[in-house]
Amino acid sequence: MSRIRQIFAETLYDGESSSALHNRVVHLDGDRICRVEKAEPDMARSPDLLATKILAPGFIDIQINGAGDVMFNDAPSLRTIRTMCHAARKGGTAYLLPTFTTASNQSFSKAIDAVRDALSDAVPGVLGLHLEGPFLSPEKPGIHPPEFIRPLEAGDVALLRQATTGIRLITLAPEEDKIGAVKALASAGWVVFAGHSNATADQMHQAQEQGLSGATHLFNAMSQITVREPGVAGAIINSPTAVAGIIADGHHVHRLNIKMAFDMMGPERLILVTDAMPTLAGQAERFEIAGNKISLREGRLVDKNGTLAGAHLAMDQAVQNMVNFLGIDTGDAIKMASAAPAGALGLAGELGKIKPGYRASFTLLDQALNAAGVVVDGHYYQNDEPAVEPAEIEQSGGL
């Protein structure tokens, strides 16, 4: 890790325009961008600045369950979060929301405590917390353990309203909300997404009126578009304002469906996520979710029945897939990994763009869009840097 003051980019995508800029120097003042200037190509050889082939706004992953051989659910702790952030940076992720999935009772309180500790300790790259469950539809569990899925209760809402974990995103099934929890959580500052939901379009519309603003992993584990019922997928795609994460790994969603969603929602509303698991930048090819054995097979993470269990995907790979397999402009794919998630989290004024006044957050890429390093609030992290702490973590008994 090192603090930098200038970056030279042969090609720069600023997060606003879909077009590229060339031969630019970005000047930093501490943890902020102070100016962006045109430069001569030979400046790339200057020893006084950091040079890169492609410079993008720092990628933001709003859904990541694990990385570097650790799983947030297994040991929700400061050390786990540090390991996840370090491993995710290898794929170009500058910022993330550690994602805690369905577990027993109020186990999510441990995740709240862990993220609060990480923010207090200024772990680089942590923006807040994503809770995915347990308040889901029993009809759309996906890989989530069905025995722990349950409706929101008043005590849950009270606990969540008091959480101080920076950005707070929760995925729930709005049709299972019988106590006005969507409105209560949205009014308390939570970003509320629909996911693992069997809601109708009318139920989605009602939830949006209460403050629901998006959907988690579009098309997966949700009611689909049929002849007479748009479902969650159709409601989100046709909304003028709703956003959605999407897993562009070539396994979760057919490329034509991704292209349809992109064409209708654009790079401002469709967000690239990894839904990554411990195998991301890790050594192990097997892990467990609540006793369910998961294996990495030909790029897919599946249980013994073939059910998808998260993704073996990095953010730079997701960007590459949008460009190489769908023909999306590089600038638009980069927006989906930076400006779009920043906007969804209410951070459009400080992250997701390369312009004066914004936080000094960048993802450095080579010509093939492979991540070479990231800058987080003015500090440069190279891909070959060792972890601050060992990958081995304490075990807390799993889910």
Residues 14 and 156 in one domain: no
Residues 78 and 43 in one domain: no
133 lies in some domain: yes
Residue 311 is assigned to a ligand binding site: no
User: What is the C-alpha R_g of the chain?
Assistant: 20
CA-closest candidate to residue 193, choices 215, 173, 224:
215
Cβ-proximal residues to 143 (8 Å cutoff; 6+ apart), any chain? 289, 292, 294, 303, 307, 308, 309, 310
Residues 184 and 84 in one domain: yes
396 lies in some domain: no
pTM: 0.95
Residue 252 is assigned to a ligand binding site: yes
Tell me the three-class secondary structure of 258-326, residue by residue.
HHHHHHHHHHHHEEECCCECCCCCCCCCEEEECCEEEEEECCEEECCCCCECCECCCHHHHHHHHHHHH
The predicted structure's pLDDT at residue 386: 66
CA distance linking residue 228 with residue 346, whole number of Å = 34
CA distance linking residue 258 with residue 260, whole number of Å = 5
Residues 231 and 374 in one domain: no
Give the CATH number, domain containing residue 364.
2.30.40.10
Residues 18 and 78 in one domain: no
Domains identified in the chain, total number: 2
19 lies in some domain: yes
113 lies in some domain: yes
The predicted structure's pLDDT at residue 40: 85
Q: Identify the DSSP state of 126.
A: B
Residues 110 and 217 in one domain: yes
Is residue 293 within 8 A of residue 303, CB to CB? The reply is yes
Q: Identify the DSSP state of 183.
A: H
397 lies in some domain: no
Residue 357 is assigned to a ligand binding site: no
388 lies in some domain: no
Q: In the annotation, is 275 catalytic? A: yes
Residues 327 and 364 in one domain: no
Give start and end residues of each alpha helix (H) in the chain.
78-89, 108-120, 154-161, 181-187, 201-210, 231-238, 255-269, 315-326, 330-337, 339-344
169 lies in some domain: yes
Residue 312 is assigned to a ligand binding site: no
The predicted structure's pLDDT at residue 384: 73
182 lies in some domain: yes
For residue 367, give its domain range: 2-57+352-382
List the chain residues with pLDDT less than 50: 389-399
Residues 306 and 192 in one domain: yes
Residue 132 is assigned to a ligand binding site: yes
CA dihedral 247, 281, 113, 75 (to 10 degrees): 110
CA dihedral 154, 159, 161, 164 (to 10 degrees): -170
Residue with tokens 């269990």: 309
Over the stretch 104-152, which tens digit does the pLDDT of each residue have? Answer: 999 999 999 999 999 999 999 999 999 999 999 999 999 999 999 999 9
Is residue 250 within 8 A of residue 299, CB to CB? The reply is yes
Give the CATH number, domain containing residue 188.
3.20.20.140
Residues 247 and 290 in one domain: yes
Helix (H) or strand (E) holding 26: strand 21-29
Residues 143 and 230 in one domain: yes
Residue 228 is assigned to a ligand binding site: yes
The predicted structure's pLDDT at residue 394: 34
249, 275, 332, 377: the catalytic one is 275
Choosing from 315, 344, 373, the residue where a domain stops is 344
Task: Determine how many CB atoms are found less than 10 A away from the CB of residue 232.
Answer: 33
Residues 77 and 170 in one domain: yes
The predicted structure's pLDDT at residue 391: 38
Residues 68 and 16 in one domain: no
